[in-house]
Amino acid sequence: MLQFGKYRRFRRRACYALCAALLLAIYVLPFFMPDRALSEGERKAIIKEGKAMLGTPYGHGPKKLTCSEFTRLAYGRGTGVWMPANYISQRSYGWRPQRLKRGDLLTYKDHVGIYYGQGRILHSSNYWGAVVVSETQYLDGYLGPRRIR
């Protein structure tokens, strides 16, 4: 007689191993990626795409942008880089660079934006109700920069 019970256990363990490998690849390996800087052209493209959206209303829905949708669009259109859909995932995406450069992602407790240079941030602001450039010193809960490859 064949016993299928041990094959079920084998398939279950193989599934667990596959899931563990996927989680490792998604959540752990990005922290060990080399600190490859974006090219100057890619940084300019991110800023250019962000500036093209200046004045776009803040919010959910058609023709409105939240902070995470704004950064996702700017990076996607500027460099073709995929980014997570919400700010909680974005603030842990990529890696922490040694020095801040234009085009880096600035993360806050409940907000994300793009570093514009000279102490300014390009972001979709709930306070101002649109995509704006503002001083970083006026935003609370700064967690640090993230570099996306």
Q: pLDDT (tens digit, 9 = 90+) per residue, 85-112?
A: 889 889 888 888 888 999 999 999 999 9
Residues 6+ apart with CB under 8 A from 79: 38, 42, 45, 46
Domain ranges of the chain: 1-32, 36-146
| Domain 36-146, CATH | 3.90.1720.10
pLDDT tens per residue, range 31-68: 555 445 678 999 999 999 999 999 999 999 889 999 99
Q: What is the pTM of this model?
A: 0.75
